[in-house]
Structure 1
Amino acid sequence: MWKSRYIVSNWFKMNLSRVYFVLVILIVSFNDNVVSGINGGDLNINYINAQNENGSTLLHGAVNQCDANMVRWLIVNGAMVNIQNSAHDLPLHIAVRIDCVEAVKILVENDALLSVGDENMNTPLHLAVIGNNENVAQVLVAKRSGMDIKNKAGNAPIHTAVLFGFLNITVLLSEHNASLNLQNKDLNTPLHLAVMKNDYEMVKILIHMGARLNIRNGLNQLPIDIALERSYLGVSALLLDCGTDINAKDKDSNTLLHASVIRNNYIVVKLLLSKKADLNIPNNEGLLPIHSATFDNNEEMLQLLLDNGANVNSESTRYETPIFTAIRKRNWKIVNFLISKKADLLVKGADGNAPIHISVLNEELSITQLLITEGADINVSNLKNETPLHVAIRRNNAAIVKLLLDSNANLMMENSQGETPLLLALRTNCIEIARLIMDSAKGINGTDSDGNNILHLAVAKNYIEAVKMLLDEKVDLEAKNHDEDVPLLIAVAKGYQVIAQLLIGAGANKSVTKQNGDSLLHLVVHNGDTKMIKMLIENGADLETKNGIGDSALILAVWLGHIEVTTQLIVSGANVNVKNRDGNTPLLLAVIKNDAKLVKLLLEKKG
């Protein structure tokens, strides 16, 4: 017997474990008289809630022994039911862990908290689920409290039940208002988790109890997306049969079928096709499943799609068929397969490119050869009026240029800039390719629809370096187009002095005239180009040549009112007294035109 409450208090604190041991021994025999004696004398009941070094109270200890009588006695005598020890355990957590149903009932009846978590934030209900303790769980769910509280892992009890595959507890939770569509920290619903576990029966039960099929998780996945991605065929079929939208789209607008094709998952694609998945829904890139099937070297997948109604010539939103995609992926085998299935080689995409344009653009020699062999049009033009040969030149790919030349590509077709392949090669300084074209049978001597040869065209575009190269190749300087124009006439008419001088220097006929009889000087007078006139005169142009209506260059200059040109012609020696076919001299024409400046000039020069 202690002499004071102070002594009792300190003894109790220092010997709590011993007291607990004594109580446990007493609990084992549970002698009412002894317990009553403790209550009335030696042990002060005010210390019944004291905690040991682990933070546990006598109630924690009694619960751990699963002694319902002692648990009840302690509570009746003031034990607090909601004290947590250093592991954050309530007495209720311990009771649930050891499956002590009676202790659980007593604690719950005495207002033990159901929403408090342990060190992992697991509530008593979480622990009951983890232990698959259905009887304990029934006691806890009857209170309908803390049903949807999440633990440290972000899972509510129903998520935990599904993850462990405990069907009965999952049903029990659902029947007591646990949310079937609650999302965990990864935004997975119980149905997502059941699908991840490939738990057919769990999926079936969740759907039967009302789980929604169309909720997306943090990865934007529906339950069906997970099932298909993992090739869980049974679960996939179940989800589809229970109402999942078979044409549901992901963030890239890929349908289930499209995504499965991209993953190259043959058995899943086969399942979806058996469920009538739509073959003709484009994704964000405008591609259909059959386009995406060309990404991999998988003829079997393509054949499966074709056997189920896919069109080998289905167009994307850019009007491109699967063969375009196969070519872009540089997949010779698939290109060959599609051709064997009657892929259209003449179809054009939104930019007017045919499959052969894309092949050349990608510098795919073997695919280009295949397309030519199978009947592709080598002279097809795109929206820029460029043929495959133009494209090959832009890529500076001599091997493909040679292939196209050997296949008789048209060398005189012009793009929207008026360039033939050779002109393009010359302008872009593709010298090797230019040589290839010039060495071909039609490279230099061929003509376009207007009768222009390559020199006409180079002159017309003022491509000085191209003209130099052509002159080195001894191209015909006097070839005439359908307007009877030789290259020099074009150069002079357009005012291209450098090229005109190059042509004259190479031996071009300076006396050449147009169909109407206009000489080179007449053409320059029309343009009022004094520099060109000077160059022509220095190179021996005849000042007195008359055109078809009998006008000399001077008469034409006066009639057009070109005082500077008139001055230059006179200074260069033109006859000021020359007459036109009507007998009019330059002076008389100036008077008729009432041009005082010209009259004055001619009078001065005549005098």
Structure 2
Amino acid sequence: MSMDRNIKRRRPEQRIAYIYVGLCAALLGGCTSSPSPPPQAPETVWTLIEKGEVQRVEEFFTGKLNINTTDEKGRTPLIRAVELQDTKLTALFLALGAAVELQDTEGRTALEIACSNGNQEITKLLAARGAPLYLASTEAQQPVRIAIQKGEGLLAALIHPATLSQRDEKGRTLLHLAALMGKGEAVQQLLAAGIPLNIKDGNGKTALDYTLEQADSYEHVKCAEPIILAGGVTQYPNFSYLLQTLRSYNVSIRFADGSTPLHQAARAGHRGVIQYLLEKKADINAKDSAGSTALHDAARAGHLVIVKTLLEQGADPNARDAKGNTVLHLILPSQVREEAVKTLLSYGANPNSKDEHGDAPLHIAIAMNLGEAVVAQLLAAGADINIRNTKGQTPLHMAVIKEAERYVPLCLEKQADLFATDIEGESPLSLAFKMNSRLIPLLITPQTVQLTDNMGNSPLHLAVSLNAPLTVIEHILKVGGNVNARNKTGSTPLFIAIEKNNREVGELLLSRGADIFTPDASGKSPLYIACTSPGGLREWMINSYTITATDNLGNGILHYLAQWKLASLIPVVAQRGAPIDKANATGESPLFFAVKANHPASIQALATAGANLQFRDRLGNTALHIAVRWNSLEAAQFLIEQRLPINAQNAAGKSALHVACTLGMHQMTDLLIQQGADLNIPETEGNTPLMDAIGANNAQGAERLLNAGADPQARNNRGDTPLHMAVILENTRIANILLSRGASIHARNSIGKSALQMALTGSYKMVPVLLTKDRINSTDDDGNGPLHTAILEGSPLSVIKQIVELGTRIHTIDARGKTALRLAIDREAWDVASFLIEQGASPFSVAADGESPASVALSQGTVALGALFSGSAIQLSDSTGNTILHYAASKGNEQAVRFLLSLGASKTARNTAGETPYDVALRWGRKDLAPLLQ
């Protein structure tokens, strides 16, 4: 079967030969007993070609066979010779007139096969015969494409006058195809070979057109260079800049707008040209007359790849144009915007650079609505959210002005300042309020509602001051706005509503708990402003929310009206239901405030409205007490005229006169005295007004009371007289006044202390005040003179000396017959005793108990004896001539005798009976002492 098929594939002459051979073989096989070997097939042209037998092949074709005959694969002898890369046979067949345009069953021509094999010699032979360059099994396998692709040698073999003029079915020449393929060396070869330059193909395009159509390709731009330099023309005017550049041999050439070729390529998106120009060292940061760089132009046109290329090659991402714009300031095409911004920032673009208007990229991005992604990228790269332009506007201003709501959360998340003011004083928030912007709910949130501007104003302050709609005020309160927030001047939003007389807003604030009482830094409260506004009372302030309201001390509206002397408003407020006698935290009614204000008209208004003039506070004070305390003279006079009890006492028992004297209110004191106040009325501790005046060191008050008849000898519950108090306070002026009115220095209180005793036990400066000449020798009920009293009270020696110097008598005895010296010895006041002895006091004065200072000292020992007799007193004797040694001889002991002798006592001194101490010792049987005295 296979043989049959093979036979069928042969040409007619070949099939006849095969049949003849087969028949002979069959006949011979039947004639012998053993078969003969099969005969060899006759050689054909194809086998001869395979063997490369040029001569025999040549003979074979000489008049015998068509030179263009084909085998079963449609190959002609020429194709087969080329396929076998047999140069001689190829040359033979060409010489015999073989057709170069024939194709085998695969569509291959001899030239395609030669080029595919890279056989330059055969290619050259075929090209010389005008072999078709474009006829091939496939377009990719066109000989011309293969030659251009494989390079210089093969292409050189292909170039021949016979081929240079050939065109493909589209009218394209070798140069067109080399340009299309971006093969610069091929282009140069072809140009060097003299191929026509500006031939147009069937589409009217030149080779240069094809290179420029692929200007994104560096290779195609490289192809364009020799064509342009050779005089190539193009139908594309947008490449005129490239032609001028190359023909001037100047990659930095400037065009009419100051741009360079790099600018032009960047604008047009010619990536290949960009790469070519940069390779030629074009200035990457050159600026045109508008100050733009190629990077500006590439970005503006949205050519992201070029942007990246320029940045990679060192373009300055922060270069500014004449208006101060960096590339980040430009409004880039939306399709590349995010990626472009990301790229620019990654190469160090400054997100805070400013243009000539001071706008940063963030201003532009928000104002021109460039998208959250761009804004987020800028913020993530460190864009200052509060950066200001020349108008003082921040990016948040832009968002508000443009009502670009989608950017507000991004700005606030980065701590955008709601209160940043521009040069016209407008903040993003104030603009929003003035515009009644739909952005307000986005601007004022639970996170921002407590923020304040540099004056301490909250969003609520600002909204009220700008007359924002009630819905805005309600929103602010709903998200947590503090209705009582205070700015730096102490004002709350209610202050502003009152000043603007904005009833609607004011009533809303009041309904949400706005405080009407707390004053601002100037001391004025919302209530005060409402009551004293030039236009009159803001009556809307007096409503159900405020009529019973109180401050933190319990004071209501009437308290304040009384305090501010707004008598005309008291009836208005009272008629609306304000409690007329409502007490504050300390129990004071509005009446008390009117009294403090010393305003009879307000008192009268309250009284007319039903106020109780007999009202008392928690301490039992009447309005008259308060009038005195606040020195409200006119109010006091009015209250007295209204028959308010002048001697009413508070919980401490104090009358108004007590208070006046305590506070030193002289006019008030005079008024009360004139109006019949009780001068000696005691308070709960028994102190009279005079005592309170003394306790307050109020000398004038005390004198006024005494002049009016106050009792200078009155006593309180402790038995103290006014003089006691003056001495304790060491008030010499008051003490002198009291003494001049007959006050006793010896009157004792409930613990038995006199004013003198108090002076002697601490208030020493009062001693000379009390012990004047007319009292220096006065005695108390026990006969004690000042010196006795001082010793009994243990006064220091300095006081004793002072009393002596004032002229007191030192020999005075008390009711028990004791002298001051005796008291000193009794109390072991040795220094006082020695002083008195020096002053001439007698040590032998005998008291009612039969003892003298000497006898007591003798019993007390040597210390006492030393105090009395250390000096010249050792020689003193009593009325019978007995010296202290005589006394010692009878009542002393050996130690006392020896001590006295050491002090110089005389053994020979004789008494009136002529006895010496020795004689006394013998008489008294003091044998133990006699030897010492002998």
**Is this a same-fold pair by TM over 0.5?**
yes
Secondary structure of the structure 1 residue equivalent to 2:240: coil
Displacement of 1:114? 2.4
Match of 2:650 in 1: 481
In structure 2, the residue matched to 1:51 is none
User: Where do residues 119-158 of structure 1 align in structure 2 (5 Å cutoff)?
Assistant: 119-127=289-297, 132=301, 141=310, 144-146=313-315, 148=317, 149-158=319-328
Write the letter of the residue equivalent to 1:184.
S
The offset of 1:498, in angstroms, is 3.8
Counterpart residue number, 2:622: 453
Return the letter of the residue paired with 1:219: R
Higher-Rg member (1/2)? 2
Matches within 5 A, 1:310-349: 310=479, 325-330=493-498, 331-338=502-509, 343-344=512-513
Rate the CA distance shift 1:264–1:316 in 2: closer, same or farther, 3 A. Answer: farther
2:593 is matched with 421
Corresponding residue of 1:66: 240
Aligned length, in residue pairs: 502
In 2, are the aligned partners of 1:401 and 1:433 still within 8 Å (CA)? Answer: yes
**Match 1:167 to one of 334, 348, 352:** 334
- Per the alignment, residue 360 of structure 1 pairs with 527
Map of 2:162 onto structure 1: none
* 1:537 positional shift: 3.5
* Amino acid paired to 2:403: S
Query: Quick one: structure 1 residues 517 and 371, their matched pair in 2 at CA, closer, same or farther if it must change by over 3 Å?
Result: same
Residue 182 of structure 1, CA deviation: 3.7
| Structure 2 equivalent of residue 499 of structure 1 | 668
Alignment partners' CA distance in 1, 2:323 and 2:400 = 26
Counterpart secondary structure, 1:362? helix
Pairwise CA distance, 1:310 = 3.5
3-state DSSP class of the match of 1:250? coil
What is the alpha-carbon distance in structure 2 between the residues aligned to residue 530 and residue 440 of structure 1?
A: 42
Could you report, residue by residue, the CA deviation over 1:38-58 in whole angstroms, capped at 9, with x for unpaired residues?
xxxxxxxxxxxxxxxxxxxxx
CA shift digits 1:435-464 (9 cap, x unpaired): 645765437543222222222123234555
**Which amino acid is 1:268 matched to?**
L
Give yes or no for the alignment of 1:249 onto 2:415: yes
Alignment pair present for 1:588 and 2:796: no
Q: Which runs of 5+ in 1 are unaligned?
A: 1-28, 31-62, 602-607
Pick from 398, 406, 419: which aligns with 1:226? Answer: 398
**Aligned-partner Cα distance in 2 for 1:156–1:223:** 17
Equivalent position amino acid for 1:72 in 2: L
**Bigger shift: 439-448 or 217-226?**
217-226
Q: How does 1:543-562 map to 2 (within 5 A)?
A: none
Per-residue CA deviations over 1:358-380 (Å, capped at 9, x if unaligned) read 43143357997546532436462
Distance in 2 (CA, whole Å) between partners of 1:171 and 1:521 is 93
Asked whether the equivalents of residues 379 and 409 of structure 1 are also in contact (C-alpha less than 8 Å), the reply is no
Shift of 1:262: 5.4
- Counterpart secondary structure, 2:669: helix
TM-score by length of 2: 0.42
1:536 aligns with 2:686: no
Matched residue type, 1:360: L
- Report the alpha carbon displacement of residue 116 of structure 1 after superposing the two structures with TM: 1.4
Q: How far apart, in 1, do the equivalents of 2:646 and 2:723 lie?
A: 28
What's the Cα RMSD here?
6.0
Cα distance change on mapping 1:488 and 1:204 into 2, 3 Å: closer
Structure 1 residue 185 displacement after superposition = 1.2
1:600–1:487: structure 2 CA closer, same or farther, 3 Å change rule?
Answer: farther
Which stretch shifts more, 555-564 or 386-395? 555-564
In structure 1, the partner of 2:52 is none
Q: Secondary structure at the match of 1:363?
A: helix
CA distance in 2, matches of 1:195, 1:129: 19
Confirm whether residue 299 of structure 1 aligns to residue 470 of structure 2: yes
Instruction: Give 5+ residue unaligned stretches, structure 2.
Output: 1-196, 199-236, 421-426, 755-777, 791-802, 810-934
Do 1:257 and 1:289's aligned partners in 2 also have CA atoms closer than 8 Å? no
Distance in 1 (CA, whole Å) between partners of 2:609 and 2:403 is 58
Could you tell me how far apart the structure 1 residues matched to 2:464 and 2:343 are?
51
Letter in 2 for 1:66: S
SS at match of 2:505: helix
Per-residue CA distance 1:531-580 (angstroms, 9 max, x = gap):
44443333244567777899987899899999876764564467999999
Q: Identity over aligned residues, as a percent?
A: 18
How big is the shift at 1:121? 1.9
TM-score w.r.t. length of structure 1? 0.60
Post-superposition offset of 1:470: 5.2
User: Does structure 2 retain, via aligned residues, the 8 Å contact 1:492–1:523?
Assistant: yes
Per-residue deviation at 1:333?
1.0
Q: Is this contact kept in 2: 1:83–1:91, CA < 8 A? A: yes
Deviation at 1:392, TM superposition (A): 4.7
Give SS of 2:439's match: helix
Return the letter of the residue paired with 2:247: W
Distance in 1 between residues matched to 2:310 and 2:560, nearest whole Å: 74
Q: Is the 8 A contact 2:320 2:326 kept in 1?
A: yes
Distance 1:270 1:503, change over 3 A: closer
| Preserved contact between residue 622 and residue 648 of structure 2 (Cα < 8 Å) | yes
Q: 2:625, 2:493 → 1: CA distance?
A: 40
| In structure 1, C-alpha distance between the alignment counterparts of 2:308 and 2:691, rounded to whole Å | 114
Residue 15 of structure 1 corresponds to none
